[in-house]
Amino acid sequence: MSGPSGPPAPPGASGLPPGGIVGLAWQKYIQQLHRRPLRTKCITAACVAGLSDVIAQLITQGSYKNWKRTLAVAAFGAAYTGPSAHFWQKFMEWLFSGKVDMGTVLVKVAVDQLSYGPFCNVLFMTFATLVLEGRSFAELRTKIRKDYPSVQLYGWRLWPLAALINYRFVPLQFRVLFINLVALCWTTFLLLRAKRAQQLVAAAKPHPA
């Protein structure tokens, strides 16, 4: 993966590049993405995953309360989402020899959405059920059997279009970043589903007199 071409833009009067702090942050991100691609993608995935949990808590509870839950979600992003997306995109690039014609892109989307995408959904539901909700393996099996089909159908409303855009228009070095931005919406949706399910279970339990 190659870095940005051409000499860096001269700083403005403030000593910052054009775009100010945002432009400087983007330049730093590009540099780290070029020097340490895997680590940078892991950190980015962790930040996006953590942000999705903050948003989910604010929506469901009206305030932010559980920082341990956010750290757990961020750890999942760093340990799985970032590395898996990095190596998956490299594998897909190798498998299809970097082709970007529409026919190849459509095949890429099909492969992506029939293998990597469904596996990620099952794994995240497993993580949310066992770690975030603290439920048993028996409850996990019931949840997967009951909820997974609808989750996957919802996913196919979003991810095929995202994958089409990604494989067709986004350079390889930025594809994981694009996935992370789409995942911000998707992970928030999954966390909201998990949180509401947890609230329904709690409400259904008999209260002591």
Average pLDDT over residues 35-46: 96
Q: Return the H-helix or E-strand segment holding 147.
A: helix 137-169
Smallest CA-to-CA distance from 112 within 136, 132, 96, 101 is with 96
Is pLDDT at 7 greater than 90 in this prediction?
Answer: no
**What is the reported pTM?**
0.80
Mean pLDDT of 129-139: 94
Tens-digit pLDDT profile for residues 71-102: 999 999 999 999 999 999 999 999 999 888 99
How does DSSP classify residue 171?
Answer: -
**4: helix, coil or strand?**
coil
Confidence of residue 119 (pLDDT cuts 50, 70, 90): very high
Amino acid at 86: H
The string of pLDDT tens digits covering residues 150-207 is: 999 999 999 999 999 999 999 999 999 999 999 899 988 888 877 766 665 555 555 5
**Mean pLDDT of all residues belonging to the chain:** 87
Structure letter (DSSP) for residue 14: T
